[in-house]
Amino acid sequence: MRKMLTRLLASADATDMDVSEHDVERNTRPKRKRVVPVWRRPQTVVVAIVLVLSLIGSASVWAWKSGHVEAALNATKWKAIKVSSDLGFTVQDVLVSGRLETSRDDLLEALAITRGTPILAYDFSAAKERVEALPWVLQARIERLLPDTLALHIIERRPMALWQSNGEFALIDDTGEVITRKALGRFANLIHVVGEDAPDNVGGLLELLETQPELKALVKAAVRVGGRRWDLSLNGDINVRLPAEDAPKALARLAEFEEASGVLARDIRVLDLRLPDRVIVRRSPNALRRPERKPGQET
């Protein structure tokens, strides 16, 4: 009995030992990675989505180019416009603001609209281009005031000078743009500019004269010389020759000289300011003639 019990215990110990070693070996063995099917990998999903979107885009482009989508959209658009017209969304009035020189008839012709036109079908971009092509119009803005009114806001050009070229005059704005060549009599008080490139430089000339308002009031005309500088014609037929460089300083020197000596009230023909350190004065030939003295006249 004792021998049998000893064998059983020994057998049990051996069995326990075998199980423990087996468990240790199983727990320490590296685990196999789980294999994910190719079609379920994230990279594959992304590629598939991109391919689908590309196919949809290609199909949309084909449909658009083939005219199917465009035709459907146009049909829907005009059906909506027809419904809106039946509901009263048609042009009945046109309100205009900012108009001074532009004629009413010219504006209506440029707008190219008649009463009863569907207001939602009106081409604002084309109308804006036509209005801004009118001589006096600088900028235009058109708005819908639903259900039945168009509002046109315009900014007109400001006439700043009369440009003389080849014996003809044209009214120009401060950018040199020609406004009109007709009915110029009422603008005769504006400064006259002469020279091929005078319109391109009239803005700078006007800014220059604004620096000396008292002298500006005396300027009748300005002649562009050599594409580089200006000669000013003042009241009394006085010619002021400005330099190509530092014209504002030269004009300031003339203002100081006039204040100190009253030179512009004298019988002067030319004031040359082209030298930076002096003013060259040329008197009128009439001023050089001395009046004959009568006998007994005091001198």
Q: End-to-end distance of the chain based on CA atoms, in angstroms?
A: 176
What does each C-alpha distance from 208 to 212, 222, 230, 250 come to in angstroms?
Answer: 8, 12, 11, 10
Report the DSSP pairing between strands 168-173 and 159-165: antiparallel
Domain ranges within the chain, ordered by starting residue:
93-156, 159-288
What does each C-alpha distance from 118 to 121, 153, 190 come to in angstroms?
Answer: 5, 20, 45
pLDDT value at residue 256: 94
CATH number, domain 93-156: 3.10.20.310
Tens of each residue's pLDDT in the chain, 299 residues: 444 434 433 444 444 444 444 444 455 555 554 544 544 455 554 545 555 455 555 555 555 555 556 665 666 656 666 666 667 789 999 999 999 999 999 999 999 998 998 888 899 999 999 999 999 999 999 999 989 999 999 999 999 999 999 999 999 999 999 999 999 999 999 999 999 999 999 999 999 999 999 999 999 999 999 999 999 999 999 999 999 999 999 999 999 999 999 999 999 999 999 999 888 999 977 655 545 444 444 43
- H-run or E-run covering 16: helix 2-28
CA quadruple 74, 76, 81, 82: dihedral sign: positive
CATH number, domain 159-288: 3.40.50.11690
Residues in contact with 154: Cβ distance below 8 Å, sequence separation at least 6, in sequence order: 96, 97, 98, 99, 102, 107, 131, 137, 138, 139, 140, 141
| CA–CA gap between residue 192 and residue 190 (Å, rounded) | 6
What is the residue whose two structure tokens read 């009114």? Answer: 149
